[in-house]
Chains A and B, each alone.
Chain A
Amino acid sequence: MKKTVNIIIRHIVLALLALIWLIPIIWLVVTSLSAYKGVNYAHFFPTEWSLDNFKQLFFRPDTAANFPAWFKNSMIIGVFTCIVSSCFVLMVSYAFSCMRFKARKPLMSFSIILGMFPGVLSMIAVYFVLKLLGLTDSLAGLVFVYSAASGLGFLICKGFFDTIPISLREAAKLEGASEFTIFSKIVIPLSKPMIVYTVINAFLNPWMDFVMARLMIKSKNSADWTVAIGLYNLLQRSLIGDYFSVFCAGGVIVAIPISILFIIMQKFYVEGITGGAVKG
């Protein structure tokens, strides 16, 4: 008897907690379905429901809300960043985990020190470097910004490579395989979960990011923006009254694919992060 009460209370508490955590998301979804365009201050649920916000998002882009262009830009940036930075992470991890050379230890500690500089500090100067290369306000520039330094994020992946038995590589070497063959034919196929993790992470990074895009995109033309910048801009004081529920609709559209990827990734996430943490 006491145990059943305990179980019931336990689930009620959990349900309450889950509700607290989901309230903003519920609000996001219901507001995106509201017929009223501004912020609804009086009621939690909209008084009139409609799908018009989604229609406006996709089929009636205007200068303030050009969602198709933003989505396309973010998609292009996401895909290219994903390719480049996954390659970089895997390459650096293999070099640091499986090969032994004189500069290995110093390079590893150096990259940890580099990681300690606040990102925003260097970002301002990155803008000047991009200007020098003529890449500001371009998709290529943003891909460069997101992926160039991604090699520094090797720790988790290296932790995974460290767990691949050394005997496998030695056996291959005895058979006359070069390091390149070992890398492409043995280590890569063995680390599928890690690659899935790295790829999804690299793809999500530009979608989730706000600061970098904010600093790098100075263009006033809304067709040059990414989803993050565009949606943020909709909440400007002059626009919020007409576009708040459109903002919410955009948020929902962005959140759906990301949530799906994230839920796929959650298993790797737990393994990946703890695996890396244990080994430092």
Chain B
Amino acid sequence: MKKILDWLKKYFVDFGKSVAKGDIWTKLSLVVMGAGYIGRKQIVKGILITLLEVIIILAEIFVTGPYMLKLNTLGTVQREEILDLTTLTKTVNDYDNSLLILLYGVIGILVAVAFVLLYISNVKAVYRLQKMKENGEHINSFVEDVKSLFDGKFYITLLTLPSLGVILMNIIPIIFMICIAFTNYDQNHQPPTYLFTWVGFKNFVSLFTSGTTVTFGYAFVRILAWTLIWAVLATFTTFIGGILLAQFINHQNTKCKKMWRTLFIITIAIPQFVTLLLISKMFGNYGIVNTICSNIGLTDFLHNIGLVSSSLDYIPFLSKPGWAHVMIILINIWVGVPYQMLIATGILMNIPTDQLESARIDGANKFQIFWKITMPYILFIMGPSLVTSVINNINNFNVIYLLTTGYTTTNMAFANSNAKETDLLITWLFTLTNDYSNYKMAAVIGIVTFVICAAITLLSYTRMISGDKEEEYQ
């Protein structure tokens, strides 16, 4: 934190110094950004930068400006259609579109921030140029500047397009959604017909409270608990299963190792939306598995011991809470184990053999070797990726969504907040936006999910990296 403050301080002090000590050209570039370059005979660069300045300022004033001015209210004029009775044509008034105001507003602010940064560093660069001139150093011509973009400054060329993509695809959308969390944008406030506006922390409050009709608090606590249980269970079952399977296949007594591995890998090679939809049909209420179960008498047996209520003539694999939760985790083992096996195989092949041998000579048995040497080694290498996979599982949309397409909740408290028992935060978020246009709550849930993911990462990374274990296996 202190480092950032120091850096900021230095940043602005440098700027002040450049302005104070600059000569006429440097001072002139406070207004016309390219002046400093033109004064040092870098004409093309000077013109280009001035042009950029003009374009940005014009865009800010004429394109995003009008929207930015309305950011504080997100628009006041609602759309109205007036039917002219004499000509029977409809005219629409000059209405405000809250969505566009917010979107253009966010873009406008980002551009403005970028412009200020550019402006400051431009003045500094011009001052540096002035100093170089005073010291009689060589000043690059335009051709040399372009060449340096493919040499010393090649990273700028490399990173420009990818960064632009990330800004458009990630940064603007994330800022936009964070803003939405503080508005009342939902099915009753949909632009362009209706306006939405800022409501402060109201949505966050309603996520944590529950009344008789709005039950977000009720659903949130349960979905959060299930999300965390799911993430931990899904990660560890597939992790352990994958290592055991890899060990089993890698054992010296196993023949045709490659063939076995390929058999399991086929299952990951098929797109998840195909296999998962198929499995959800297999385990459907009247699916093939239920037919087999009732043929072999399993359904009756479960009726007798009371696991399935006698009013149902099928096993509700994916349609009742409890059953669905267990099935989802089991099916996820099916999905995840081959993948973990693939990774674990790579690691097991690189395990230091001298350690295994010396353990064997010292008289350790197989289980001791596995738990005391193999596992710690795998954990050491896979530790960081284990954390990432917990986070990926928190955001594991496919498994849950595709398996529970046929699931309808009977619990009114869940139904009132458009949730169901098997939902993760992420699938809840998706249903809220895609089916119910409840963007404000979806945005709040997204922010909460991010906070959870960030907290897990930070906690575990400092634990795992801070220890001085780094050189243990080197």
Chain A residues engaging chain B, CB cutoff 8 angstroms: 3, 6-7, 10-11, 13-14, 17-18, 20-22, 24-25, 27-28, 39-44, 88, 91-92, 94-95, 99, 101, 104, 107, 111, 113-114, 116-126, 128-129, 132, 144-145, 147-152, 178-180, 183, 207-208, 210-211, 214-215, 228, 231-232, 235, 244, 247-248, 251, 254-255, 258-259, 261-263, 266, 269-271, 273-274, 277-278, 280
User: What are 12 residue pairs bridging A and B, where the CB atoms are less than 8 Å apart in the complex?
Assistant: A3-B253, A124-B442, A125-B177, A150-B162, A214-B434, A231-B274, A251-B271, A255-B270, A262-B265, A273-B346, A277-B382, A280-B465
Q: Is B99 an interface residue (CB 8 A)?
A: yes
Q: Specify which of A178, A262, A278 is in contact with B150 (CB 8 Å cutoff).
A: A178
User: Which residue of B is nearest A113, CB measured?
Assistant: B454
Known: A116-B453, A215-B434. A235 touches B277 (CB 8 A): yes
How many B residues have CB within 8 A of the partner chain?
99
User: Which residue of B is nearest A88, CB measured?
Assistant: B162
Q: Specify which of A24, A116, A258, A277 is in contact with B450 (CB 8 Å cutoff).
A: A116
Q: Is B159 an interface residue (CB 8 A)?
A: yes
Could you say which of B54-62, B134-142, B359-367, B390-398 contacts chain A? B390-398
Chain A residues contacting B439 (CB-CB under 8 Å) are 124
Q: Specify which of B265, B274, B434 is in contact with A266 (CB 8 Å cutoff).
A: B265
Contact between chains at A266 and B287 (CB < 8 Å): no
Identify which of residues 231-267 in chain B touch chain A, using a CB-to-CB cut-off of 8 Å: 245, 248-249, 251, 253-255, 260-267
Q: Specify which of B170, B278, B342, B391 is in contact with A248 (CB 8 Å cutoff).
A: B278
Could you say which of B86-94, B196-204, B412-420, B425-433 contacts chain A? B425-433
How distant is A152 from chain B, measured CB to nearest CB, in Å?
6
Chain A residues contacting B356 (CB-CB under 8 Å) are none
Task: Compute how far the CA of A151 lies from the CA of B152 in the bound complex, rounded to whole angstroms.
Answer: 21
Task: Compute how far the CA of A117 lies from the CA of B166 in the bound complex, rounded to whole angstroms.
Answer: 13
Task: Compute how far the CA of A116 lies from the CA of B253 in the bound complex, rounded to whole angstroms.
Answer: 43
Chain B residues contacting A22 (CB-CB under 8 Å) are 263, 266-267
Contact between chains at B158 and A91 (CB < 8 Å): yes
Q: Specify which of A88, A125, A247, A273 is in contact with B174 (CB 8 Å cutoff).
A: A125
Known: A28-B278, A41-B291, A211-B398. A116 touches B454 (CB 8 A): yes
Known: A27-B282, A278-B381. A92 touches B450 (CB 8 A): no
Contact between chains at A41 and B288 (CB < 8 Å): yes
Going nearest first, the 9 A-B pairs with the smallest beta carbon separation are A151-B162, A121-B446, A125-B173, A270-B346, A148-B165, A179-B154, A262-B269, A122-B173, A148-B169
Contact between chains at A120 and B395 (CB < 8 Å): yes
Question: Interface majority SS on A: helix, strand, loop or mixed?
Answer: helix
Q: Is B385 an interface residue (CB 8 A)?
A: yes
Chain B residues contacting A88 (CB-CB under 8 Å) are 161-162, 165
Chain B residues engaging chain A, CB cutoff 8 angstroms: 99-100, 103, 147, 150-152, 154-155, 157-159, 161-163, 165-166, 168-174, 176-177, 180, 245, 248-249, 251, 253-255, 260-275, 277-279, 281-282, 284, 286-288, 290-292, 334, 338, 342-343, 345-347, 350, 381-382, 384-385, 391, 394-395, 397-398, 401-402, 405, 425-426, 429-430, 433-434, 439, 442-443, 446-447, 449-450, 453-454, 457, 465
Chain A residues contacting B103 (CB-CB under 8 Å) are 128-129, 132
Chain B residues contacting A25 (CB-CB under 8 Å) are 266-267, 270, 275
Contact between chains at B343 and A235 (CB < 8 Å): no
Contact between chains at A180 and B154 (CB < 8 Å): yes
Contact between chains at B255 and A11 (CB < 8 Å): yes
Q: Specify which of A228, A263, A277 is in contact with B265 (CB 8 Å cutoff).
A: A263
User: Which residue of B is nearest A123, CB measured?
Assistant: B173
Contact between chains at A183 and B166 (CB < 8 Å): no
How distant is A162 from chain B, measured CB to nearest CB, in Å?
16
Q: Specify which of B155, B288, B385, B457 is in contact with A44 (CB 8 Å cutoff).
A: B288
Contact between chains at B154 and A148 (CB < 8 Å): no
Known: A120-B446, A125-B176, A179-B152. A277 touches B381 (CB 8 A): yes
User: Which residue of B is nearest A267, CB measured?
Assistant: B346
Chain A residues contacting B385 (CB-CB under 8 Å) are 273, 277
Task: Compute how far the CA of A171 lies from the CA of B340 in the bound complex, rounded to whole angstroms.
Answer: 40
Known: A148-B168, A251-B274. A118 touches B450 (CB 8 A): yes
User: Which residue of B is nearest A179, CB measured?
Assistant: B154
Contact between chains at B266 and A259 (CB < 8 Å): yes
Task: Compute how far the CA of A88 lies from the CA of B402 in the bound complex, rounded to whole angstroms.
Answer: 31
How distant is B221 from chain A, measured CB to nearest CB, in Å?
19
Contact between chains at A14 and B260 (CB < 8 Å): yes
